[in-house]
Every structure is written in C-alpha cells, then in structure tokens.
Amino acid sequence: MIYIKLFLVFFKIGLFSIGGGLATIPFLQEIVRKYGWITSQDLLDMIAISESTPGPIGINTATFVGYKTAGVFGGIISTIGIVTPSIIIITIIAHYFGKINEKPIVQAGFYGLRPAVIGLIGAAAFEVAKISLLNIDEFVNTGSLITLFNLKGIALFVAILYLMDKYKKHPIVYLIGAAVVGIIFKY
C-alpha cells in the first residue's frame, strides 16, 4: 500500500539524514531513480519552492513528494514519517539528558560546544549574507570592489539592525516588513 511505503521511505530519510535539510537531497534523488514517484524536474522545482516558503526544507520536501504521489493524505503521512525518528531518538536523549547534564564531563563538553554552535550559526548567516548583501559573481567578473556590495541589501540590513535595537519588536514584524520593502523596491 502506497501510504505505508511513503511512511517507511520518509522514516528512513528522517533516520539517516544528519545535520539539516540539505542532507535529505541524496535520498530524494534515490526516490527519483528507484520509485519514480517524482521526476528530476519535480525535484529541482521542489528544492526551489522549499527555499521560497517558510518551514524546514526537509519537511517541505516530504510534504511535496507525498502530495505528488498520493494526494493530501500522502503529504501528511510522508511528513509524519520523516519526523517520527526524531521524536523517538530525541525523546530518549532528552530523557537521559536531564540526568547527565550536570556531570562535569558533560559540562566540559558543552563549554567547548557552545562557542562552536555560535560559530555554526554565524556561518549560516554568512551563507545568506553572501546572496543577499554581496554580489560575489559580479565582483569576480569586474574586479572592482564597489560592485562587491549590494547597496540596496545593505541599506535594508542597516535599517533593520537599527529598528531592532530601538524598538525590540517580535522577529516576525521585521520579516514581514522586509518582505513588503522587498516587493515595493524590487529586491
């Protein structure tokens, strides 16, 4: 039955993709080859759609493939499939985490981990900054430093930092505001 198959395939993806949504892509390519539920063009469209919609990329792709294969219920089943391993594994870890996290060795581990996580988050921000605040391709082509900076992007960036510091509103306010500015000024 297609629902059981969808559940199992996405359960497997959830179980073996470690470290973020893009880690699911090799598994999705396997789906294209092995099951033919989606075509490679679907896969490309889907990655583009996932990047232009809210929500974790892994979840978006699971819903999309499930829907394409077996309708609304297929989308739901695939999504439940991909999150089930997380719920099981993290529940087990969280259960023991409460008991071991005061131990000196665990605290020592986190002493090293926390700055590294901040570094990883910084690197994620840098990835987005490269496409939204800089024009790397243009800079490589022309070689002039002026072209490296996306002035429109940087102006909005500075404005948002200033407003955040001054008004401390909910992050959603800035996201919606930036979308509106983006539409009006064609970012």
Partner 1 sequence: MRELWELFIVFARIGGFTFGGGYAMLPIIQEEVVEKRGWATEEEVIDYYAIGQCTPGIIAVNTATFIGYKLKGIIGAIFATLGMVFPSVVIITLIAAFFRQFQDYAIVQHAFGGIRVAVVALILNAIVKMWNNSVKDIVGIVIFIAAFIVVAFMELSPIVVIVASATAGIIIQSRRMDMR
- Residues 112-171, interacting with partner 1 (CB under 8 A): 112-129, 131-133, 153, 156-157, 160-161, 164, 170-171
Residue keyed to tokens 């999150």: 83
What is the distance in angstroms between the CA of the first residue and the CA of the last residue of the chain?
A: 46
Q: Which region among 2-10, 28-36, 97-105, 139-147 touches partner 1 (by CB under 8 A)?
A: 97-105
Which tokens sit at 42? 């679907």
CA atoms within 13 A on the CB side of 182: 10
Tell which one of 33, 91, 137, 146 touches partner 1 (CB under 8 A).
91
Backbone angles phi, psi at 113, to 5 degrees: -70, -40
Tell which one of 7, 21, 27, 81 touches partner 1 (CB under 8 A).
21
Determine if 56 is a binding residue for partner 1 (CB under 8 A).
yes
The C-alpha angle 144, 149, 153, rounded to 5 degrees, equals 155
Q: Which residues pair with 134 in a beta bridge?
A: 149
Query: Is the Cβ–Cβ distance between 21 and 61 less than 8 Å?
Result: yes
Residue keyed to tokens 């395939």: 9
Q: Which region among 1-9, 29-37, 100-108, 136-144 touches partner 1 (by CB under 8 A)?
A: 100-108
Tell which one of 9, 60, 70, 81 touches partner 1 (CB under 8 A).
60
Determine if 101 is a binding residue for partner 1 (CB under 8 A).
yes
Determine if 75 is a binding residue for partner 1 (CB under 8 A).
yes
